[in-house]
A and B are shown apart, each in its own frame.
Chain A
C-alpha cells in the first residue's frame, strides 16, 4: 500500500495509535498526545525504531535515528510528522 499523507493532527494520532498497538501492544485509545513513550507507555529505544519504520511506511515521513531521542511524547511525533508532511 502506498503511503498516504494525513493532513490533520487527528488522522496522524489515529495512525500512530494503530502502529503502537501493533508494535508495543498498547491499546490505541491509550495513545494520547501527552503520553511519554518511556515513562507512560513503557516503549524502549528499539521499539521506537520499529515505530519510526512503521510511521515511514504509513505516513511517508522518514524519522531518522538522530531525531528519535528528541521525540519523547506522542505529541512530539505527531508534530514531527505534520511538520515534515507540510514541508515535503
Chain B
C-alpha cells in the first residue's frame, strides 16, 4: 500500500483575527446587572469585550478571520485542502461550520470538520493540522477558532455575562520548507472528564454555567504542568519564550500560570482586557492582534495553552511566522 509523502514538520504561515464591531464596556454591563468596572477588572481582568450583531453568525466571524489568515499566508484558496473550525457555540448541529466557511472563502472541496474541545479547541485543531501536514494527509490547513458565546449567555447572570464574548481567530498551517525547522511543537493534551459538570451548556434551551471556584482551582493547580510538558517536548525553556499565550479565560488564572512557569508578566499575552473570554477563538485572536501591532517577534517561540469545558486541555510551542 502506498502512503503519502511525509514532510519534516509543519509551521504556521500566518494568523488572522476578527472582532465584531459592537464594544460592550463594563459600565454598560453595570447598568443591567449588579457589578462595576472596578469589580470586573479586579476579578477577571476585563475592561471591554465585543459582541456579535444579532444576524452575525459563527461562520461569518470564521470567514472574516480565516480570510485574513489566508491573505497573510500568501497562499491561494486552492492551496488549502483541509479546514478545521474549532467551536462550541455554532447555531446548528448540521451542517457543520467548516464546510460552509471553506466554500465562502473559495476553497474548493477540502476536507472540513468542526471540532469541539471548547476553550482548548484551537490547540487541539492546531495539533491535528500539524500532524496532517507532517504525515502528508493535507498540504495546507486553515485552522479557525470562532465563537458566538453571547447567544448562550444569560445576560442577567453577572457571574458569566461579564466574562464571555464573541470573536474569531485563525492560522494557516503548511509544511516546513527544505532546510526549515518545524514550527509547531509536539502537543501535550488530555482531558478530565471527572470534572465535566463544572462548565456546561446543558441543552439548546440552556445558558452557559460554570462552577467558578472548581475551574479556578483546577486551572491554577494543574495546568502549569501541561504547559511545562509542552515546553519540555519542544525543547524550549519557559524562560526563552517570546510570549506565553494561554486561553484568555481570566487574567488571574493567566497570571498565576505565568508565575508558576517562570514567564515574566510582560511576556504574558493579555488580550482578554479588550476581548473578554472568546473560548476557542481567544488564542489565535490574541496572536493575530499581537502580530498586527508587531508586539511579538517573528521567529520567536510562543507557548499556547488551551483549557476549558470537557474539561479539555492542550498546549504546544509554536514558532511565530
Using an 8 Å CB-CB cutoff, how does the interface string of B197-240 with A read, 1 for contact, 0 for none? 00000000000000111101100110000000000000000000
Q: Does A49 contact B43, Cβ atoms closer than 8 Å? A: no
* Inter-chain contacts of B256 with A (CB < 8 A): 50
- Cβ of B252 < 8 Å from any Cβ of A? yes
Contact residues on A (Cβ < 8 Å of other chain), bracket: 10 to 19
A residues 26-80 in Cβ contact with B at 8 Å: 44-46, 48-50, 52-53, 65, 68
* Inter-chain contacts of B217 with A (CB < 8 A): 49, 52-53, 65
Q: Does A65 contact B214, Cβ atoms closer than 8 Å? A: yes
* Inter-chain contacts of B220 with A (CB < 8 A): 49-50, 53
Q: Does B221 contact A46, Cβ atoms closer than 8 Å? A: no
Contact of B212 among A45, A50, A53 (CB under 8 A): A45
**How far apart sit A26 and B229, CA to CA, in the bound complex (Å)?**
35
In the complex formed, the residue of A with least CB distance to B159 is A45
Contact residues on B (Cβ < 8 Å of other chain), bracket: 10 to 19
**How far apart sit A48 and B252, CA to CA, in the bound complex (Å)?**
13
Contact of B252 among A46, A52, A53, A68 (CB under 8 A): A46
A residues 5-25 in Cβ contact with B at 8 Å: none
In the complex formed, the residue of A with least CB distance to B43 is A44
* Inter-chain contacts of A65 with B (CB < 8 A): 211, 213-214, 217
* Inter-chain contacts of A52 with B (CB < 8 A): 217
Q: Does B221 contact A68, Cβ atoms closer than 8 Å? A: no
Give the most central of B211, B213, B252: most A CB within 10 Å: B213
**How far apart sit A48 and B217, CA to CA, in the bound complex (Å)?**
10
Contact of B43 among A46, A48, A50, A68 (CB under 8 A): A46
Using an 8 Å CB-CB cutoff, how does the interface string of B287-314 with A read, 1 for contact, 0 for none? 0000000000000000000000000000
**How far apart sit A53 and B222, CA to CA, in the bound complex (Å)?**
12
**How far apart sit A35 and B236, CA to CA, in the bound complex (Å)?**
46
* Inter-chain contacts of A53 with B (CB < 8 A): 217, 220-221
What is the CB-to-nearest-CB distance from B132 to chain A, in angstroms, rounded to a whole number? Answer: 39
* Inter-chain contacts of B221 with A (CB < 8 A): 53
In the complex formed, the residue of B with least CB distance to A46 is B216
* Inter-chain contacts of B216 with A (CB < 8 A): 46, 49
* Inter-chain contacts of A48 with B (CB < 8 A): 213
What is the CB-to-nearest-CB distance from A83 to chain B, in angstroms, rounded to a whole number? Answer: 21
**How far apart sit A52 and B220, CA to CA, in the bound complex (Å)?**
12
What is the CB-to-nearest-CB distance from B213 to chain A, in angstroms, rounded to a whole number? Answer: 5
In the complex formed, the residue of B with least CB distance to A47 is B252
What is the CB-to-nearest-CB distance from A64 to chain B, in angstroms, rounded to a whole number? Answer: 9
* Inter-chain contacts of B214 with A (CB < 8 A): 65
B residues 16-72 in Cβ contact with A at 8 Å: 43
* Inter-chain contacts of B252 with A (CB < 8 A): 46
**How far apart sit A46 and B220, CA to CA, in the bound complex (Å)?**
11
* Inter-chain contacts of A68 with B (CB < 8 A): 213
In the complex formed, the residue of A with least CB distance to B252 is A46
What is the CB-to-nearest-CB distance from A25 to chain B, in angstroms, rounded to a whole number? Answer: 12
**How far apart sit A14 and B43, CA to CA, in the bound complex (Å)?**
27
* Inter-chain contacts of B211 with A (CB < 8 A): 65
**How far apart sit A87 and B216, CA to CA, in the bound complex (Å)?**
28
What is the CB-to-nearest-CB distance from B207 to chain A, in angstroms, rounded to a whole number? Answer: 20
What is the CB-to-nearest-CB distance from B69 to chain A, in angstroms, rounded to a whole number? Answer: 34
Closest 5 CB pairs of A and B: A65-B213, A49-B217, A49-B213, A65-B214, A49-B216
B residues neighboring A (CB under 8 Å): 43, 211-214, 216-217, 220-221, 250, 252, 256
Q: List 6 A-B contacts (CB under 8 A).
A: A45-B212, A46-B212, A49-B217, A50-B220, A53-B217, A65-B214
Known A45-B213, A46-B250, A46-B252; further 9 A-B contacts with Cβ < 8 A: A46-B212, A46-B213, A46-B216, A49-B216, A49-B217, A50-B220, A53-B217, A65-B211, A65-B214
